[in-house]
Every structure is written in C-alpha cells, then in structure tokens.
Amino acid sequence: MALSAKRQAFCEEYVVDYNATAAAIRAGYSPKTADVQAAELMKVERVKAEIDRLKAEKSSRTGVTRERIMEELAKMAFVNHQDVAGKDGQLKKGIQRADSAAIKKIRTRYLPDGSMEQEVELYDKSKALDILNKMIGAYEGTKANQIKLDGQAIRGLVILPDVEAEESPIEVVEDDEED
C-alpha cells in the first residue's frame, strides 16, 4: 500500500536536511503540531522504509556512503602533523593525497624580502575520532549503572564485565530493559 501524498512529501522533505519537524512543516503539516506529527510519522514502518529507500537512492546518486565518510574521518583522525608540515610549520612538498585531506587551512604570508611563510592547520583529531567511535558503535553497550550511596545516586559508573572481586561491598542493580 502506497503512502499518502502528504506522508510521501514528508519523506522526501526529511531526506533534504534530516530535520523531521521542518520536513513536516514543508510537507504541509501545521507548524503548531509539526513536532508531534513528525515524531509519530517517524514511528510508522512504511514511512521509515520509504525514508530508507530515499536515503539509499540519494547515497547512490551522490556517491556519499557511510564507508566514504568513515574514510575521510580516518584521514583527519590518523594524520601525523609531521607528514604534512615541517618543523617550521611550513607545508611539506610532495605530501600524500590522503594526508592533504586532513588539512583544514593553510595560512600564507608574504614577507618583504619576497619569501613566504606558511602555517598548516589540521582538522580536530579528537572530534574526528569521537565521530568515528560513534559510527563504529564503540560507545554502545556501556550502560551507565546507578549506585546509591547514602541515598545519593551516582551516575556514569561503568562496570567492566570481566572484573571479579571476592566480595562486592556495593550491590549494583541494573534496570531491566523492556522489549
């Protein structure tokens, strides 16, 4: 069964900027209730399937894939500054294409004697690494447990699965996950 014209428009608008509320408004839903409508639409299986189809079509057309994004992020995350710039901060000659992808900016200054200075700035390695970790799921499965000590909740503690102790001074209780 095909989607209604309004739901189809929502799907098409959603893949423009991946903003569900804005897509709902552009598709003709009331701005007053667009956020609620968008949240409900995103739960509908046929809508999700159509969005997935449109994303795949867009990815195929543009050549933008998860793997390609990861490759570019890896270039930013793993470049060594010494591979692109000398000790003086100047851009090295003959750098590898993959390494040049990590260059955010090159500042060139011409000196009165006719020479020039360059300063190479790379993209933020820690940000690229963080995005890569999210993409590969490195942060998944680390459920933060809640422990109560003297009536105070402590959040953010992660219990490592292979660590054993003879006796545990604290009882750790994890919430049951609902399916």
Identify residue 94 by its one-letter amino acid code. G
Q: What does the pLDDT read at residue 22?
A: 94
- Whether 12 and 57 map to the same domain: the answer is yes
- Whether 53 and 75 map to the same domain: the answer is no
| 156: confidence class by pLDDT, cuts 50, 70, 90 | very low
- What's 11's domain CATH number? 1.10.10.1400
Cα 123 to Cα 144: distance, rounded to the nearest angstrom: 31
How many separate domains does the chain show? 2
- Which pLDDT tens digit goes with each residue over 31-50? 999 999 999 999 999 999 99
If we measure between CA atoms, which residue out of 111, 61, 60, 104 comes closest to residue 85?
104
pTM: 0.52
Most confident of 7-11, 134-138, 157-161: 7-11
Cα 30 to Cα 50: distance, rounded to the nearest angstrom: 22
| 159: confidence class by pLDDT, cuts 50, 70, 90 | very low
- Whether 72 and 122 map to the same domain: the answer is yes
Q: What does the pLDDT read at residue 146?
A: 42
Cα 92 to Cα 81: distance, rounded to the nearest angstrom: 10
| 58: confidence class by pLDDT, cuts 50, 70, 90 | confident
Residue 152 has pLDDT above 60, yes or no: no
Instruction: Name the residue range of residue 87's domain.
Output: 68-127
**32 falls within a domain:** yes
- Whether 40 and 76 map to the same domain: the answer is no
**165 falls within a domain:** no
CA dihedral 62, 68, 73, 75 (to 10 degrees): -120
Out of 109, 127, 145, a domain closes at 127
